[in-house]
Structure 1
Amino acid sequence: MNKHIRLAIFDRLAAAIPEPTTELNYSTPFELLIAVVLSAQATDKGVNKATEKLFPVANTPQAILALGEDGLKDYIKTIGLFNSKAANIIKLCETLINCHHGEVPQSREALEALAGVGRKTANVILNTAFGQPTIAVDTHIFRVSNRTGLAPGKNVMDVERKLEKFVPAQHKKDAHHLLILHGRYVCMARKPRCPVCCIADLCEFKEKTS
């Protein structure tokens, strides 16, 4: 796939998805950080149901620490792995207060040093909260990148490196959400909606649905 096709792909995705953003509900970088930590192996819808009750009560590191681990669990117990997530969030909040004046840091290294935060979560925060041109490769992005031929790779890091190299500069800020939303609603895992796909003629997937 050459750079002209890649540009055309992102131009079309941007036209089809004019306001690409996360489907997690949040109003501050800290709320987004908590939501993303909770979203591991969980749906955005499920996380939003939990945080719509949690955030009005506790949406700062200090307030969540005041809840305590058991108090936090009461709000997130509908989410998978809630026990370990609650423990990580408490540690995360302690680190934010002790090392970052209660604010979410804007560097990858500082984010990845937080409990429960890996490279993917850090990339989401850097991109969505702070507007940095990072791409967090989740299952949707991994699938779309490989299926279309946009940035094929055997693992997440392969795909991330290729996307960083190949995504046109003007689309790097929004590429993360463009690819996620396209994968979630059009280029789905089991039965992609190829007949209504805006990039079907540019895609290298050989087993297109009819």
Structure 2
Amino acid sequence: MNKDKRLQILTKLRDANPHPTTELEFSNPYELLVAVALSAQATDVSVNKATAKLFPVANTPEAMLTLGAEGVKQYIKTIGLYNTKAENVIKAAQILVDKHGGQVPEDRAALEALPGVGRKTANVVLNTAFGWPTIAVDTHIFRVSNRTKFAVGKNVDLVEQKLLKVVPKEFKVDVHHWLILHGRYTCIARKPRCGSCIIEDLCEFKDKTEIE
């Protein structure tokens, strides 16, 4: 895909949604960190249902430690892998208290050192909580980037590198939200909704579907 076509796609996505953000519900960086960690192999909807009850009780590392792993499990047991996730939430909370004064660090290495936090989670936190131009590549972004030919890559790391290279600076902070939402609601996995897609004319996917 050429530079001009990418620019047109980004402009259309921006015009349709000028201020995109995550669908995870949070009110501070720590809540975001926990929510993103819980969302691994789970839907944002399921995470929001759990955190709607968890965060009023514990939305700081100190309060989370008071709950303990068993306490956290009672709130998140509707989420997949909840046992491991609860343990990681508590271990991470302890590190935040011991090493970072109970604050979420604005630092990639420090974030990735937390249990249950990988590159993707760190990218989301740095982008959404702190406004960094990072691009967290999940299954939706990987699919959309490859299917449209916007940024082709054999794995999520290669797609991330390509996106960081080809997306102009003015779009970098918001692009991962646009692509996630596009993959979640329009360019869906089984049968993309090409007929209702605002970038269909620019997309290079060869097997476009008819209007549903």
TM-score exceeds 0.5: yes
- Tell me what 1:53 maps to: 53
- Report the CA distance between 1:3 and its aligned residue: 1.0
1:102-121 matches, cutoff 5 A: 102-121=102-121
- Report the CA distance between 1:168 and its aligned residue: 1.5
> Are the aligned partners of 1:137 and 1:156 in contact in 2 as well (CA < 8 Å)?
yes
* Structure 2, unaligned runs of 5 or more: none
- Report the CA distance between 1:169 and its aligned residue: 1.4
Q: Which amino acid aligns with 1:88?
A: N
**Structure-1-length-normalised TM-score:** 0.99
Q: Cα RMSD between the aligned structures?
A: 0.6
Q: Which amino acid aligns with 2:198?
A: C
Deviation sequence 1:141-177 (CA, Å, 0-9, x none): 0000000000000001110000000011110010010
- Report the CA distance between 1:129 and its aligned residue: 0.5
- Tell me what 1:195 maps to: 195
* Structure 1, unaligned runs of 5 or more: none
Deviation sequence 1:95-132 (CA, Å, 0-9, x none): 00011000001111010000000000000000011000
**Aligned equivalents of 1:168 and 1:207: distance in 2?**
28
Q: Which amino acid aligns with 2:179?
A: L
Q: Which runs of 4+ in 1 moved over 4 A?
A: none
2:46 alignment partner, SS class: helix
- Tell me what 2:15 maps to: 15
1:155-174 matches, cutoff 5 A: 155-174=155-174
- Tell me what 1:151 maps to: 151
Q: Is 1:29–2:29 an aligned residue pair?
A: yes
Q: Percent identity?
A: 68
**Structure-2-length-normalised TM-score:** 0.98
1:68-107 matches, cutoff 5 A: 68-107=68-107
Q: Which amino acid aligns with 1:65?
A: L
> Are the aligned partners of 1:6 and 1:168 in contact in 2 as well (CA < 8 Å)?
no
- Report the CA distance between 1:16 and its aligned residue: 1.6
**Aligned equivalents of 2:80 and 2:151: distance in 1?**
31
Q: Which amino acid aligns with 2:119?
A: R
Number of equivalenced pairs:
210
